[in-house]
Amino acid sequence: GAGVSQSPSNKVTEKGKDVELRCDPISGHTALYWYRQSLGQGLEFLIYFQGNSAPDKSGLPSDRFSAERTGGSVSTLTIQRTQQEDSAVYLCASSPQGGLVTEAFFGQGTRLTVV
C-alpha cells in the first residue's frame, strides 16, 4: 500500500480481555517495528521484525504481550488479559531493509483504552 496501515484506529476493551492490533507495512518493506506511546510521553520500543523473525523483542513489557509476522508482511500485536496500564497508542513502522541504514515510516496508530 501507499503507507503503513494500522487497524483498528481505536479500541476500547474491558480489563482482562485479549486484544489484537494489526499492522500492514509498506509493500516490500522487510523491517517492521512496534512502539507504544503513553499519554504525553515519548515512544517506547516494543519489538522489531526483520522478515518474519524478531531479532529484538527486548521491549515487550511482560509475557502478556506477543507479536508475530507472517509472509514477511502483516504483523499482529496481541495483548492478553489487558490491564489499565496497557492503555496507550500503539504505533507500527516499517522500513525497506532494517533500521541500520534506511528510513522508517509510521502508521497512524491504534489508540487502546482499557476500562
Partner 1 sequence: GIQVEQSPPDLILQEGANSTLRCNFSDSVNNLQWFHQNPWGQLINLFYIPSGTKQNGRLSATTVATERYSLLYISSSQTTDSGVYFCAVVAYNQGGKLIFGQGTELSVKP
If the CB atoms of residues 66 and 108 are measured against partner 1, the closer one turns out to be 108
> Which of 7, 22, 45, 66 is the binder for partner 1 (CB under 8 A)?
45
Using CB under 8 A as the binding criterion, the count of chain residues that bind partner 1 stands at: 28
Tell me the closest approach of the beta carbon of residue 81 to partner 1, in angstroms.
26
Judged by CB under 8 A, the residue of 7, 11, 43, 66 near partner 1 is: 43
Contacts of 67 (CB under 8 A, 6+ apart): 34, 46, 47, 49, 54, 57, 60, 75, 76, 77, 78
Q: Which three cell numbers stand for residue 44?
A: 517506547
Report the distance separating Cα 59 and Cα 39, nearest Å: 18
Q: Which residues pair with 89 in a beta bridge?
A: 37, 111
Site string for partner 1, 76-95 (x = CB under 8 A): -------------x-x-x--
Q: Is residue 96 a contact point for partner 1 (CB under 8 A)?
A: no
Residue with cell 509476522: 69
Short-list 110, 105, 72, CA closest to 90: 110
| 2-31: contacts with partner 1 (CB under 8 A) | 31
Please report, as ranges, the residues that interact with partner 1 according to CB under 8 A: 31, 33, 35, 37, 41-43, 45, 48, 50, 55-56, 59, 89, 91, 93, 98-106, 108-109, 111
